[in-house]
């Protein structure tokens, strides 16, 4: 149900050796989960996390002098964002990186947004459109610079970091066992996903893994979160193409879903539900919050039935409407080859023929199993259909999961000391793709590094490339169908 793998005595390789091993793996099409670094004296420890076909994670680590190393991005573009972040966070030189732009303007670059040299396209026919950081809606901030030829977007540069609030630094400053609320605010719409990754990582560091039944209850919360947010995204897509009946109905179905989450755990976002050693969500009311809410199993099933039934009706109307298809089909395309090359993850990758879903295959695969949603279109239409399919799979799965776990009680295990000199990697298939949390302790069992990776980090470039050669007026639906997190990127 969850993958949290612990590593001890990780060999530190020379740069050449490390490069060779990482290159070899990537050439064999091993999936790169993450690449990050931390300063250690004058040097930087660079860590690559690779996931083999069977799902096992492998760690490749190098000790790199401040002089840096030659970028791997020209050969493997999917690494571009990791090497940019590595440079921004540690100051390490990444020689020959083709696009070493700030990721979130942290560290030395902080506050230099105004001086950011946007990529400029020259020519009499070119005009620039600057959008943001404040956008025209109730939405997070980010700056977009379009280079247009007439109405057609030739190039889009996305400049983020406005939401940077220093999450990773704060994670190291506080008690490692009580980081729950902070982790839940990495990306508030993914509270459950991040809280589960964090809790599973701590449990792996203390050697107290959750029971299968507890993991199942956490997965139920995660699927409710996915269903709720996919509905929010679809409501936004419907609104952006002017299909108001869809917007209203997807929106109110989300209300039913998140109100169900609230009755399970006290928060419409699943906050406070998952903590290291405990899962505070119950079916029969929860301890310590006064009168029990008394959400019963039949009520859960009744809510699921209502959502399934009404979703089917509105989905039929929405997907058969010619106006909807006309707006979404062929717009904002990302080919399967491009999606793979730049390392897209989650539903936007699965809309471009990817079959990767941690819930479906590998050590974190669900039991009972959940269906895989994948499309080959790669455009706004494909991304919409993938979410609709995922909704169906999740709702079906929720039914069977509740049958498997009809009794919910608040569990609590007291969390022990962390294993010293260990690295734990926890992976969760969140609503936007793989969430990676990597925690490392020093010789005294204190946390020395907490790397948080929200899937949005890898997907923003996909949006920038998807709008190329599209009408600039199609940007909103491209943006909505990608539905990426700003704060998850900015940390």
Partner 1 sequence: MLKALSVRAQQGRQFIPDPRSGRPEGLRGLPVLTAGECASCRACMAACPTSAIAVDPLQIDLARCVFCNECVVVCPDDRVRFTPEPSMASTRASGLLVRAGSSVEPIVPDEVFRRHFGRSLRLRQVSAGGCNACELELNAAANVNFDMQRYGIDWVASPRHADALVLTGPLTQQMAAAVRLGWDAMPEPRFLVAVGACAISGGLYADGDAIDRSFLSEVGPALFVPGCPPHPLTFLRGLLDFLGIA
Binding residues for partner 1, rule: CB under 8 A, are: 105-106, 110-111, 113-114, 133-134, 136-141, 161-166, 169-170, 173-174, 178, 180-182, 185-189, 191, 232, 245, 248-249, 251-252, 255, 259, 262-269, 271-272, 280, 288-290, 293, 295, 309-310, 313-314, 316-317, 320, 412, 485-487
Instruction: Write out the two tokens for 57.
Output: 């994670």
The CB-of-130 to partner 1 minimum distance in angstroms stands at 13
- Label residue 55 exposed, middle or buried (CB < 10 Å: 0-12, 13-18, 19+): middle
- CA 158, distance to chain mean position in Å, is 18
- The Cα 455–Cα 282 span in angstroms is 29
The CB-of-208 to partner 1 minimum distance in angstroms stands at 18
Helices 380-404 and 212-240, interaxial angle, to 10°? 150
- The Cα 351–Cα 237 span in angstroms is 15
Q: Which of 54, 415, 429 is nearest to 218 (CA)?
A: 429
The CB-of-54 to partner 1 minimum distance in angstroms stands at 35
Q: Which of 262, 374, 270, 388 is nearest to 320 (CA)?
A: 388
CB 236 within 8 A of CB 483: yes
| Angle of CA points 98, 102, 108, to nearest 5° | 125
- CA 11, distance to chain mean position in Å, is 29
The smaller minimum CB distance to partner 1, of residues 185 and 400, is found at 185
Query: Would strands 57-64 and 12-13 be described as parallel, antiparallel, or unpaired?
Result: parallel
The CB-of-175 to partner 1 minimum distance in angstroms stands at 9
The smaller minimum CB distance to partner 1, of residues 94 and 258, is found at 258
Q: Which residue matches tokens 């070493």?
A: 100
Locate the DSSP E strands across 297-432: 411-412, 422-430
The CB-of-138 to partner 1 minimum distance in angstroms stands at 4
The smaller minimum CB distance to partner 1, of residues 5 and 485, is found at 485
The CB-of-30 to partner 1 minimum distance in angstroms stands at 32
The smaller minimum CB distance to partner 1, of residues 205 and 311, is found at 311
The smaller minimum CB distance to partner 1, of residues 213 and 267, is found at 267
The smaller minimum CB distance to partner 1, of residues 66 and 134, is found at 134
In Å, how far are 344, 345, 371 from 340, measured between CA atoms?
6, 9, 21
The smaller minimum CB distance to partner 1, of residues 79 and 187, is found at 187
The smaller minimum CB distance to partner 1, of residues 109 and 121, is found at 109
The CB-of-239 to partner 1 minimum distance in angstroms stands at 10
Instruction: Write out the two tokens for 432.
Output: 């936007």
Go through the chain and tell me how many residues it has. Answer: 491
The CB-of-325 to partner 1 minimum distance in angstroms stands at 14
């Amino acid at each position: 149900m969850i993958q949290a793998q612990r590593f001890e005595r990780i060999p530190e390789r020379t740069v050449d050796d490390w490069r060779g091993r990482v290159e070899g793996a990537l050439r064999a099409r091993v999936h790169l989960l993450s690449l990050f670094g931390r300063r250690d004296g004058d040097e930087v420890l660079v860590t690559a996390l690779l996931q083999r076909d069977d799902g096992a994670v492998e760690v490749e680590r190098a000790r790199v002098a401040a002089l840096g190393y030659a970028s791997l991005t020209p050969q493997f573009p999917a690494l571009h964002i990791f090497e940019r972040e590595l440079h921004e966070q540690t100051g390490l030189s990444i020689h020959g990186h083709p696009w070493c732009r700030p990721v979130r303007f942290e560290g030395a670059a902080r506050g230099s947004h105004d001086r950011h040299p946007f990529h400029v396209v020259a020519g009499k026919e070119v005009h620039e459109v600057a959008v943001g950081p404040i956008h025209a809606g109730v939405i997070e901030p980010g700056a977009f610079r379009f280079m247009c030829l007439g109405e057609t977007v030739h190039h889009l540069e996305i400049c983020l970091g406005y939401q940077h609030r220093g999450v990773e630094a704060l994670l190291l400053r506080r008690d490692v066992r009580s980081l729950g609320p902070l982790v839940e605010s990495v990306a508030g719409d993914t509270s459950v996903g991040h809280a589960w990754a964090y809790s599973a990582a701590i449990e792996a560091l203390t050697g107290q893994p959750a029971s299968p039944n507890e993991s199942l209850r956490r997965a139920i919360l995660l699927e409710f979160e996915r269903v709720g947010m996919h509905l929010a995204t679809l409501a936004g897509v419907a609104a952006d193409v002017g299909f108001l009946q869809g917007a209203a109905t997807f929106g109110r179905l989300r209300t039913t879903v998140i109100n169900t989450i609230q009755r399970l755990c006290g928060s419409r976002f699943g906050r406070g539900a998952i903590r290291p050693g405990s899962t505070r969500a119950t079916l029969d009311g929860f301890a310590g919050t006064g009168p029990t809410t008394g959400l019963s199993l039949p009520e859960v099933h009744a809510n699921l039935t209502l959502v399934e039934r009404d979703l089917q009706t509105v989905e039929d109307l929405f997907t058969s409407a010619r106006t909807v298809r006309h707006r979404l089909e062929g717009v904002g395309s990302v080919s399967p080859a491009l999606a793979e090359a730049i390392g897209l993850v989650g539903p936007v990758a699965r809309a471009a023929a990817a079959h990767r879903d941690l819930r479906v295959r590998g050590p974190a695969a669900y039991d009972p199993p959940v269906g895989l949603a994948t499309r080959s279109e790669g455009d706004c239409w494909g991304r919409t259909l993938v979410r609709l399919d995922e909704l169906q799979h999740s709702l079906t799965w929720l039914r069977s999961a509740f049958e498997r776990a009809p009794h919910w009680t608040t569990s609590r295990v007291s969390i022990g000391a962390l294993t010293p000199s260990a690295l734990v990697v926890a992976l969760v298939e969140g609503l936007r793709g793989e969430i990676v949390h990597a925690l490392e302790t020093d010789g005294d069992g204190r946390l020395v590094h907490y790397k948080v990776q929200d899937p949005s980090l890898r997907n923003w470039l996909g949006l920038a490339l998807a709008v190329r050669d599209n009408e600039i007026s199609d940007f909103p639906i491209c943006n909505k169908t990608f539905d990426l997190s700003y704060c998850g990127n900015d940390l």
